[in-house]
Structure 1
C-alpha cells in the first residue's frame, strides 16, 4: 500500500488482500488516519482477504466491510476469531460470499455455527477450509438451512466420520469438497440426495467436485456412483489424490465398474462433464457396451476423462462416442489403438443416423501409446500404422490436431522396450502419429 492520501481514497479500488506475513503497522495507521467519517474508505471495494489475525487491527478491517461482497478470513487464532465473529453479521450488510480458513478445533466450529444461524439470509457462497478437524453435523445443519446458498466449498480435516446433513440445501448448485476419503464424501451425498431415487435434498445441484486422500473401503466407488444417479448433475469431477499414503483399510488396487452409474440412463441426460480419477494402480472396468450406453444417455457431453485408468475399449467404441456426442470437445479414454480393434457391436439404421464427424473435438488422450505393442514400424505384411491411425482419427474428428500420452503408462512401455520387447521407440511412434494428424487437420482447415 502506498502512503498517499490520494491513493488511499481512490474510488477505483475493488480488491484488497492483506497477508499476515507482511505486517505493516504504519500502513494501518495511515488507513485509520485517512478514513473519512461520512463515507467508506474505498467506496468501490467489493472483495477483502484478511489474513492478519491480530486483534488490535480489527478496527482497520471494520473500515473495509460496509461495501464488501466477498470476504475471506483466517480464523486460526482464538482471540481474533471471537472478536471478529461479532462484526460481520452487522457490518457486512452486502456480503454474498464468505470464506473461513484456519487450523481450528471443535470450539471454533461451535462458534461458527452460532454465527451462521444468526447471519442474514443473503449469503450465496460459503467456503470452509479447516485443516485440523472435521466440521460437525451441527455445523452442516446451520449451512443447510441457508435459503440462498448456491456455492459450498468444504476442505476439512482427517478424522473420518459419517456426515449427516438434513435436507433441504434447496438453492445449492455447486458442491466442492476436499476430505480424507471417498466414504466421507459418499456419506454426505447420501444424506442430502435422499434415500431413494424419487427424492433429492439438492434439487438444483449442478456440479460436484471432490478430491479425496484415500478411496476407503472396497465398493465405495460403486456406492458413490449409484448415489450420483439420484441427482440431476451437469458436471461431475471426482479425484483420488495420487500422492497420499494408503488408507488403513487398503487391501490392494481398486477395481470398479462404471455400470452402477449407467444403470439409470434417463437420469444422466443433463451431464456435460464427467471426470473420474481413481487412485494410482486403480482401474475402471469398462466395455464397449458401456461406452455406447454413456454416449446415448449423455448427448450433451462436453468433457469426458477417466484418467486413462479404464480397461481399454476398442477404436470402434471411441469412434462411437466421438461421433454420437456432437458437443464433445475433449476426451481421455484408454483405447486399444490397433487397427483391428474396431469393435463388433452392430448398429442399426437409427443409430447410424446419429453418427457424424465431430468438428468440435480438440483434445484426445487414448492411453499410454497411440500404437499398442504392434511390433515393427513397417512390417512387409501390415499397413503403415503411422499413417492409418491418424487417418482414422481424422475421419471421426477432422479438427483434431493433437493427441496426449499418459506418461504413467509410458514408463511401462519404456521398461518393456529396454527389456527387448519393443523395436521402435514409442516416443518416435507418438511423434509420427501426431505429425501426420496435425498435417491432416491443417489440410482440412484449408
Structure 2
C-alpha cells in the first residue's frame, strides 16, 4: 500500500527524520510511537504529501506521492489532525459533508445521492447522527473528535492518517474512537497509519508498531516484539516494564514511580515469617509478592495460608491458595530451605501431608528480583517434573512468588539449576521422613 524508501526530512539544516525505510501493508492498522521530538508528526506530514522529502521517496500504490494532484490524493488519503479549537461554527452535517469535496463535479459541485447516503451512514457509524443539526461549538471534545473522524471517513479513503487522535480525550472517548475506527477499517477495507503517545492503546489496537527515536527507526514489528523493555527503556530513558494482557495476546506497558523505586528494600526473603497453627499454616511478609499459583493464577499478596476449613478458603482468593482435608490427615510436616544466587536470595517451603494412600506436596517458592509472567511460568514448568518423577508423591500445588524489587535476574537458566538442586535435596529429606512413618 505505502512504501517509504530511504526518506530524510529536514527543517533547515536539522535532520528530523534520517534514512527511514518501511512498508505499510494494505488493510493494516500501523502505529507510530516515540518520545517528543522523535519526528513522528513530521514523518506523517510527508506521508500525506504535506512535506516534500529532502532525500528518498514515498510511494502510494506504487506511484510517487509527489506525483498526485491534490484532488487525486484526497480521494486516496484522509487526514484526521490533532484535536484543536476550530474557527468555524458549522452544523455537524455540513462539516461531515466537506469530506465529499474530492468527488463533487460541475460548476456548482452539488452533493449526489451517493454523497448523502455516505454522510448519513458515517454519522450513524460514528454515533453523531443524533446531533447532526447542532453547532460544532456545542459539543464536547470527544464528540468533536468523532465529527472530524466522520469527515475523514466520508471521503472513502484507501489510507486514513491520524495524528494523535486520542489526545485530550478521556478514557471512554479514547476507546469509543478507536473501536469505531477499527470496526470501520474492517468493514470498508482501509489502511490506517496513526501517531500515538499512549503505548498501551498502540499495543491493543494496532497490528504493527514503528518505534522512532531522534528521527531513526528503532523497532518495527508486532507489538509483542516492538515493545520490549530494552528498547523502550533506551528510547524513553525511564524504567518501563511490560507484561501480558490478561485477555488478549498483547503487551501492556507500565512503570514504577521514582519514589517507590527509591524505597525499594532488597533481601525481603529474610523478612518472611512462617507460622503453623492447629488448623492453619501461614507465610507472612512485610512486602507484597507477585504470585503464580497452579490453582488461582496470578495475584499479589503479602500473606499465603493453608486452611483446613473449605468455607474459609472461599472467602478471599489471596488466602485460599490451597486447602487440605482434615479428616484424611495422618501426619504433617513442613520443610524449609534458603539459598542465594548472584546475590539474589530465594526460599522454599514444602508442606507434606500424609494420608492413608499417599504423600502430597504443596510447594511455595519465593525469589527476590523482578520476573515477568513468562519467567515465572518457565520456572513453574521446570520445577513440576522434579516432584512428579516420584510416582508415589503427588505434587498437589506449586506457588512461585517474586517480590518484583531489585534488578531482574540476569541469567534465569542458572537460577533454574539452583532451584532444581534445592528441590532435589528436599526430595532426599522427604525420603528420610517417609522412613520414619
Q: State the TM-score, normalized to the length of structure 2.
A: 0.28
Of structures 1 and 2, the one with the larger relative CO (CA 8 A, separation 6+) is 2
Q: In terms of Rg, which structure is larger?
A: 2
Whichever structure has more strand as a proportion of its residues is: 2
- TM-score (structure 1 length as normaliser): 0.28
